């Protein structure tokens, strides 16, 4: 099998597997998108926005451990990527609500399944991390 031609970004296309269908010139951007949607705070915000628009303080209350700075930063990125919407109402005091955009709704089921999997298996993973997991030896040839 010969070498694949160099791409403008210096990457080569994958020969097989799930990455094979992604053109090499798109791979860096695809990795950026995966990094964004795979971020723990992004996933939790997407999951929390399932039932409709929420105000900033409601989001903060429903996501334990998130700082104001991280919530603001993550919301800004989700809006920038078209996964969430930000609606500011001309009221006194001003009211701002965040909701899932159609693109974010398409991601919601995937995110909630992943969060559920993590919750279901956290004890098993904790056991492995503490060295109590099983080690499988490869068969000898």
Domain boundaries, the chain: 24-129
Q: Looking at 8-12, 82-86, 100-104, which range is the least confident one?
A: 8-12
Specify the pTM.
0.74
**Domain 24-129 has what CATH class?**
mainly alpha
128/36 Cα distance (integer angstroms):
27
Render pLDDT for 66-101 as a digit per residue (tens, 0 to 9). 999 999 999 999 999 999 999 999 988 889 999 999
CB neighbours (10 Å) of residue 13?
Answer: 16
């Amino acid at each position: 099998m010969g070498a694949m031609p160099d791409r403008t970004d210096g990457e080569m296309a994958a020969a097989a597997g799930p990455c094979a269908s992604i053109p090499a010139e798109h791979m860096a951007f695809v990795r950026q998108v995966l990094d964004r949607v795979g971020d723990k705070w992004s996933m939790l915000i997407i999951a929390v926005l399932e039932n409709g628009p929420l105000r900033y303080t409601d989001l903060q209350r429903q996501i334990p451990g998130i700082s104001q700075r991280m919530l603001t930063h993550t919301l800004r990125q989700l809006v920038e990527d078209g996964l969430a919407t930000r609606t500011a109402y001309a009221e006194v005091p001003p009211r701002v609500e965040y909701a899932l955009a159609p693109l974010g709704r398409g991601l919601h089921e995937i995110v909630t399944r992943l969060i559920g999997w993590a919750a279901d298996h956290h004890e098993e993973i904790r056991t492995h991390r503490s060295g109590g997991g099983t080690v499988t030896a490869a068969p000898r040839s």
